[in-house]
Amino acid sequence: MQSAAAASTVGALGALAGCSGGGGENTDSGSDSNTDSGSDSNTDSGSDSSGSESITIDYLNAQAAENSSIKSHFQESLSTFEEQQGNVTVKLQTASYGDIRSKLASTVSSGNPPTMAEAGGGGLQFYLDGKVPDHSPFIEGTDRLPGDYTAANLDSAKYRGEYWSAGGMRHTNSNLGINPKLFSQVGVSDPASELSTWSGFLDAVRQIDEQTDAIAYEETGVPGDLESYWGYARTAYTGGTDPWMRQSDDPENPTIVVANDEHEDQGKTDGMIKTCVKMAHEFSSSESAQRGDEEIPSLMLTGKVASFNYAVPTANRWRAIKDDVQFGWNDGEGDFMLLPHPKVDADFGSNFGISELEGVEGEHGGHMWALEQQQTLFNASDTEQNAAWDLNMFLLGDDEFVLPAWGEHYESLPGLQPKLQKILDEYELAQSTEQAYKNADTYGEQYSTTGAAWDVRDTDPIRWTDINETISEAIAGQHSIEETPSLVRSRIQDRLAQ
Amino acid sequence: MSQETAQHIRQKYGLEETTLMDRVRENWIGYLFIVPTFVMFTILFYYPIVRGIFLTFTNTRLGEAGSFVGLENYSWLLTNDLFHFAFGWTLAFVFGTTLLQLVIGLIAALLLSELRSRWRDWTSAIIMSPYFSAPLAGGVIWMWFLNSDFGMLPMILSDFLGVQAPSFLADGVWPYVSLIVAQSWHDYGYAGIIYAAAIVGIPREQYEAAALAGAGRLRRFRDVTLPHLVTPTIIILALRTAWNVAEFAQPFELTGGGPGTRTMLMSILTYETAYVNLQFSRAYTLGMAMILVSMTAAVFYVTVIKDEEELYV
């Protein structure tokens, strides 16, 4: 079924290549500032959906449900897309990130899948079950892809050399977030330098813990919100090395680094798991193991929380709580400032009592959310799939959609790398957004999304359940810090053996 | 008495043995009336149960049909430490909430029985109102009451009494206590309604006779009221146990099984297995364990009530 669909798609694309060959001059991948609409989404889409037959695309999406502003922008842009296409109607359905997986699974199960959906990591399982076509012919039918994809998108959309997804429209990344007033109270005057290492950060956090009533560092310890750990777990490494699993000759049996006595990197990975749990125990509130990231901005803006490692570029999340929020240090008077995750320095292990990290150094930008935002086409007729692909290219590449969407309505990193500079040129961004962009730029291709490179079927349950839930249990005191890495390891092993 | 005579007597009084077809022929209108109910029950109740049992022997996930895996799901269940914990905590939760609901319900019913009848209706409506609130709304109410950041109880404790309140939904034993208390608050009204009806039905003469015989208030309660409450108690126990095993909305709203997985009830674990991890066959297997708990309790209660009836006979 899967190969038949792929073959027919290739056939359709082949036919298309013949009939649209004259459009070559419009397909410059660098140029997307087209005349009227600013759109170049149709020019390299490889589509044959422009006939007179009327086509309906059922499109399930979570990003449009993030806030009312981005939802209206989606609706307006989809109307523009429909006008451009003439014969295509897009039926947009939205669901929160919490609901989209089960909603999608039930529609696929009932034999009525959407034409395109923001399937996230679950899309890979649909692909392996033959419910999602091979996306390679679509991607290769364009001349800007896969080259324009961000590193995180490339990593996420590929599985053992095949493209199961069409990429994600946008990403966010995890960073260190601080309350400038509380940090200046304990004598920090140059946060970019003083908080650049884990030892420096630890010193400041200890002082806040001792001198103020605030929660010095809040770990979002619910399993579904421990992605902050995914980010700083990498800071014990340099060059973006994966802390949890590495490819081996047998793709079914990757090398698990966690609690692996025979692996040279075991200490770095185990040490950062312990750091996560210990930071939560020493500095977070007792609520941390059931507190989601949604609560942190309001706690930080009211001076109850001094820092956390879950800061994302989206300034509107903060403005929703306080209209006139002051972003940045502002001589220690700001409300919220975003910094890179601290670097692991050689002294941190001994400073914090984690022997595995003694003498270890490393740095990384953080976790990039990319797998969650992956969009996939589902099995449908060629015309419907091609129309859905056109829509995907429009949402990835049309400046009039992309720039306001991710520069204004829901500040985040665009899914195509060349768009990043355009947003920086177009908008005056809050310190938090600009710094998050800068971090993404500094760490460039190292930026990855946790699990995307593992190339195993159960990436999602390994990330969310085996790693996060086990750490969350440790934060809640259900097992000791010491035994946490080995528990994570045995759960991953059990999962891979299934 | 000869065999013929017995047959004769049975025929005379319409007690002769009849086949199923005979009964259908005689009462076809009655059977016709129950057909729609039977069909609906089959579609909505019996079939899902049978299908659910079948699914526990497959690896079905939401969104993909599974294949037969034998007892793998049961083996997963029995070796899963989170299930062991959830099983034990569910038993404690059910025991705690059912017991509290019985006691509070009984007290409420006794107090109501003391009221004059014109006050009784309104007061009982107010006392029973939590039972008629949506469980999710109950969860929100308790969240506003207990939450460490904005909850009323921690604020009263710290602002008026100068006591540092524990984190009722996160610290030590408090999340367990909070969940049991909140659930008991929500459902004690059910026990109250049944007990109130039973108390109203106790003949006044029995109290008068006991009073004339010199029995005090406590003695009248023990010897007159309590014996009339045994059957209602068994009914409440059986039904509330089954419902408390399956209780989901209010605990999910309050702690969602956290911190970590420290308050993970079997119902929440079933939800997470089905709708977060999308492993439907395993969720059904968990459901089997929940049914097992409810059925065991029900069989126990039914046995007790049977013994109780024999006592009266």
The total of structural domains in chain A comes to 2
Task: Pick B170's closest partner by Cβ from A105, A129, A289.
Answer: A289
Question: Do A164 and A267 belong together in one domain?
Answer: no
Instruction: Answer whether residue B171 is part of any domain.
Output: yes
CA distances from B69 to A110, A213, B52, B78, B282 (A): 23, 55, 14, 16, 11
Query: By three-state DSSP, how is residue A63 classified?
Result: helix
d(CA B278, CA A47): 34
Which of A443, A466, A482 is the last residue in one of the domains?
A443
d(CA B261, CA B271): 13
Establish how many alpha carbons lie within 13 A of residue B111's alpha carbon, considering only the half-sphere containing its beta carbon: 11
User: B63 — contact with chain A (CB < 8 Å)?
Assistant: yes
> How do A88-94 and A55-61 pair as beta strands?
parallel
Q: Taking CB atoms and an 8 Å limit, are A287 and B170 in contact across chains? A: yes
Instruction: Answer whether residue A66 is part of any domain.
Output: yes
Q: Would you place residue A185 in the very low, low, confident or very high pLDDT band (cuts 50, 70, 90)? A: very high
Q: Which residues of B225-260 are buried (b: 16+ CB within 10 A; e: fewer)?
A: beeebbebbbebbbbbbbbbbbbeebbbbbbbbbbb
CATH number at A237 reads: 3.40.190.10
Task: Pick A290's closest partner by Cβ from B61, B258, B275.
Answer: B258
Q: Taking CB atoms and an 8 Å limit, are A469 and B261 in contact across chains? A: yes
Question: Do A424 and A462 belong together in one domain?
Answer: no
Location of structure tokens 């996306």: A135
Residues of chain A with pLDDT > 90, as a percent, come to 69
Chain centroid, CA A312 distance in Å: 10
Domain with B183, as residue range(s), is 81-277+286-312
Lowest mean pLDDT among A155-159, B17-21, B208-212, B295-299: B17-21
User: A177 — contact with chain B (CB < 8 Å)?
Assistant: no
Q: Would you place residue B290 in the very low, low, confident or very high pLDDT band (cuts 50, 70, 90)? A: very high
Instruction: Answer whether residue B142 is part of any domain.
Output: yes
Domain with A152, as residue range(s), is 2-16+38-169+371-443
Q: Which of B150, B164, B262, B279 is the best mutation test for A, with the most CBs of A within 10 A?
A: B262
DSSP E strand boundaries for A45-187:
55-61, 88-94, 116-117, 158-159, 162-163, 170-173, 175-178
Q: Would you place residue A5 in the very low, low, confident or very high pLDDT band (cuts 50, 70, 90)? A: very low
User: A287 — contact with chain B (CB < 8 Å)?
Assistant: yes
CA distances from A391 to A378, A397, A415 (A): 13, 10, 14
- Expressed in angstroms, the distance from the first to the final Cα of chain B is 29
User: A299 — contact with chain B (CB < 8 Å)?
Assistant: yes
d(CA B273, CA A465): 10
User: A72 — contact with chain B (CB < 8 Å)?
Assistant: no
Q: Taking CB atoms and an 8 Å limit, are A290 and B259 in contact across chains? A: yes
Does residue A105 or residue A215 have the better pLDDT? A215
Question: Do A436 and A484 belong together in one domain?
Answer: no
pLDDT digits 0-9 by tens, B152-168: 999 999 888 888 888 89
User: B81 — contact with chain A (CB < 8 Å)?
Assistant: no
Q: Taking CB atoms and an 8 Å limit, are B169 and A287 in contact across chains? A: yes
Which chain B residue is nearest to residue A287, measuring alpha carbons? B170
pLDDT digits 0-9 by tens, A190-244: 999 999 999 999 999 999 999 999 999 999 888 888 999 999 999 999 998 999 9
Question: Do A359 and A378 belong together in one domain?
Answer: no
Lowest mean pLDDT among A378-387, A399-408, B131-140, B298-307: B298-307
Which chain B residue is nearest to residue A491, measuring alpha carbons? B80
Any idea of the CA torsion for A466, A467, A468, A474, to the nearest 10 degrees? Answer: 100
Chain centroid, CA A170 distance in Å: 8
| pLDDT for A349 beyond 50 | yes
Cβ atoms A448, A244 nearer than 8 A: no
User: A120 — contact with chain B (CB < 8 Å)?
Assistant: no
d(CA B284, CA B286): 5
From A41's Cα to the closest Cα of chain B, the distance in A is: 32
In order, the DSSP letters of A459-498 are: HHHIIIIIIIIHHHHHHTTSS-TTTHHHHHHHHHHHHHH-
From B185's Cα to the closest Cα of chain A, the distance in A is: 23
User: B228 — contact with chain A (CB < 8 Å)?
Assistant: no
> In the prediction, which pLDDT does A353 show?
96
Dihedral sign of CA atoms A265, A268, A271, A276 in order:
negative
Location of structure tokens 């409506």: B125
Count the Cβ atoms, other than its own, within 10 Å of residue B64.
18
Task: Pick B64's closest partner by Cβ from A129, A285, A464.
Answer: A129
Instruction: Answer whether residue A32 is part of any domain.
Output: no
Joined together, the tokens standing for residue A72 give: 């209206």
Angle between helical axes of A2-19 and A382-397 (0-180°, round to 10): 70
User: Rounded mean pLDDT of chain A?
Assistant: 87
**Mean local confidence (pLDDT), B223-229:** 89
User: B29 — contact with chain A (CB < 8 Å)?
Assistant: no
Lowest mean pLDDT among A465-479, B51-65, B133-147: B51-65
Q: Which of B275, B279, B280 is the best mutation test for A, with the most CBs of A within 10 A?
A: B275
**Mean local confidence (pLDDT), A111-116:** 92
Give the ipTM.
0.75
Structural element, H or E, at residue A256: strand A255-256
d(CA B131, CA B222): 28
d(CA A139, CA A154): 11
pTM over 0.90, yes/no: no
Measured at the alpha carbon of residue B108, what is the angle toward residues B102 and B109, in degrees to the nearest 5?
Answer: 85
Instruction: Answer whether residue A294 is part of any domain.
Output: yes
Which chain B residue is nearest to residue A111, measuring alpha carbons? B63
Please, which residues have CB within 8 angstroms of residue B228's CB and are 6 or more apart in sequence?
B198, B199, B201, B202
Tell me the count of A-B CB pairs closer than 8 A: 89
Q: Which of B277, B279, B280 is the best mutation test for A, with the most CBs of A within 10 A?
A: B277
The total of structural domains in chain B comes to 1
Instruction: Answer whether residue A449 is part of any domain.
Output: no
Question: Do A354 and A490 belong together in one domain?
Answer: yes
Which chain B residue is nearest to residue A215, measuring alpha carbons? B149
Question: Do A88 and A143 belong together in one domain?
Answer: yes
Question: Do A252 and A382 belong together in one domain?
Answer: no
> In the prediction, which pLDDT does B309 show?
61
